[in-house]
A and B are shown apart, each in its own frame.
Chain A
Amino acid sequence: MTRLTRWSAAELAARIHAQDITAVEVIRAHLDRIAAVDPALHAFLHLDAPAALAAAAAVDDGLRRGDPPASPLAGVPLALKDVFTTVDMPTTCGSRILQGWRPPYDATVTRRLRAAGVVIVGKTNMDEFAMGSSTENSAYGPTRNPWALDRVPGGSGGGSAAAVAAFEVPLAIGTDTGGSIRQPSAVTGTVGVKPTYGGVSRYGLVAFSSSLDQGGPVARTVLDAALLHEVIGGYDPLDSTSIDAPVPPVVEAARAGATGDLTGLRVGVVSQFRGDGYQPGVLRAFEVAVSRLRELGAEIVEVSCPSFDHALPAYYLIAPSECSSNLARFDGMRYGLRVGDDGSRSAEEVMSLTREAGFGPEVKRRIMLGTYALSAGYYDAYYGQAQKVRTLIIRDFATAFDQVDVLVSPTTPTTAFRIGERVDDPLAMYLSDLCTIPANLAGNAALSVPAGLSDDDGLPVGLQVMAPALADDRAYRVAAAYEAARDGADGGPLAQRVPDLEVAVR
């Protein structure tokens, strides 16, 4: 019998709603799985089994009463990146400075999940305040990649991606500022989506870089991601940057895409995203993926986006600048850690000691970088210039999307690197974001869908699909078509080929 934890969210929901199985059974099975493998994986920072079981029971009760399910995902378990506020669980953002903090309010995403009957089982590990590409910057220790326990699961949302890849949950929520959903998905063999900026509310999403942050779904299939996207997406009057328009029809697009016909679709391969620094196995896997798209009827063309070469430096000016301001509120005065208040010190001193003790090195680096870039005399050369590069990137995307319907690239230049390999070299770490950053700067939709394993180390590779702003459905359609074709060729979904963790742990 296939274990419940191997099913997709869509399958689980269908059976729960048909009352073939109970939501409580489903949650129990996943809690058991988490108990078995999370000690090795460390994807979760907090679990709330009683609350999860109670929420599941409530779903079952409703169904028994004859109520229609609250959403197509009611009763399905989910892991929430620990950057979203939850009233019934701590929200630490992977930082010592918020250790144990219980927010007095739920994020809009949290509220929507609860209202949809989705069962939040726990909060997942992340790079501190979403800054990083490996989850090694978490104050609570790294998360490990289920495909190889000595490797990183990517970051900043490594916990969410690992939890889904390891069958601890079929669904997770991440946030993507420079690639923090897509890159972990690429290196863990899962589907990760960054919706169009403004498509998912940021109210209750602890801000790292306000003009770039976006919450999004993580799943093992494109359809599951689409179903979750429709639950969390949509206008929120509490978020001024929220788009006042219906969620793009991503579920419909995922279903339509699964028929596998991409005839007439124009696909652009970004010429800047190859060459030095790209692992050969990754590039080969990418080429195979592109051929598959061609086989499905797509027309493949090469597209050049020259400004993308400046995307990384622009990002590493804009994001730290915004974060230096966003993180100023963490000073020990109103919530969180307070250090050094012995009655003799001033508020200024206590703030400085608290922040020194509470923030990790990457966070401090970025705060200082951002402070520098915004300071008098440097603003024009750094932050000001970066905002101009942003304009150029938006223009390059616009020009590209005049020629093609979607753009594709490898999601990240390498497969999962070893834990500890890049921690002392910030610049090397930043290179993980090369391909993902442009879509954050321009605000358009982008996702990563598993594209097989690299032939040089057997680790997962991701295919990035980018669509114009508000055309998230287009990316889902292409990803779904690709996924169906890939699974057909491989004899089954990649996700199911992850090494059996319980065996490894034993």
Chain B
Amino acid sequence: MPTISRDEVAHLARLARLAVTEEELDLFANQLEVILTSVARVGEVAAADIPPTSHAVGLTDVFRADVTRPGLTQQQALSGAYATEDGRFRVPRILDES
């Protein structure tokens, strides 16, 4: 029976970049625990030798030719942006070196 603590929810929220409120932490902890208990049933399927499926469609080797295709203009690319500068997307200061 999985138990998910408030701290774990806070950690998940951080990983997922969600600034959840204190109330949400409690609410989500409860709800996630209930959901997790239900979905943990997938573990019951005694299936060590069963291969996982990531794709129902059995395609392989789908490629395209190395040929250019018209894309977006700079204006189209920037059209939804909150802020731009010199043809670039302007974003707040980044803390971490990636």
> In the assembly, what is the distance between CA of A102 and CA of B72, in Å?
14
Q: Are A348 and B35 in contact (CB under 8 A)?
A: no
* Count of A-B residue pairs with CB < 8 Å: 180
Which chain B residues (81-98) contact chain A, with CB distance < 8 Å?
Answer: 81-83, 89, 91-96
Q: Are B35 and A426 in contact (CB under 8 A)?
A: yes
> In the assembly, what is the distance between CA of A192 and CA of B70, in Å?
35
Q: Are B82 and A211 in contact (CB under 8 A)?
A: no
For A381, the chain B residues whose CB sits under 8 A away are 40, 43
Flag whether A24 is at the interface (Cβ < 8 A): no
> In the assembly, what is the distance between CA of A351 and CA of B15, in Å?
12
Min CB distance A386 to B, Å, is 5
- What mask results when residues 358 to 373 of chain A are scored 1 for a CB within 8 Å of chain B, else 0? 0101001101110110
- What mask results when residues 9 to 33 of chain B are scored 1 for a CB within 8 Å of chain A, else 0? 1001101111111001001100110
Flag whether B1 is at the interface (Cβ < 8 A): no
Query: Known interface pairs A371-B15, A391-B53. Does A346 touch B24 (Cβ–Cβ under 8 Å)?
Result: no
Flag whether A355 is at the interface (Cβ < 8 A): yes
Q: Are B77 and A389 in contact (CB under 8 A)?
A: no
Q: Are A382 and B39 in contact (CB under 8 A)?
A: yes
Flag whether A53 is at the interface (Cβ < 8 A): no
For B36, the chain A residues whose CB sits under 8 A away are 369, 372
Q: Taking CB as reference atom, which chain A residue is nearest B44?
A: A310
For B40, the chain A residues whose CB sits under 8 A away are 313, 381-382
Min CB distance A235 to B, Å, is 11
For B27, the chain A residues whose CB sits under 8 A away are 361
Min CB distance B10 to A, Å, is 10
> In the assembly, what is the distance between CA of A427 and CA of B44, in Å?
19
For A54, the chain B residues whose CB sits under 8 A away are none
For A233, the chain B residues whose CB sits under 8 A away are none
27 contacts between A and B (CB under 8 A): A102-B80, A104-B77, A211-B54, A310-B44, A313-B41, A317-B42, A333-B82, A335-B82, A346-B93, A347-B93, A348-B94, A349-B19, A353-B19, A355-B18, A359-B18, A368-B13, A371-B16, A372-B12, A372-B36, A382-B39, A386-B39, A387-B52, A389-B42, A392-B47, A394-B53, A426-B35, A442-B56
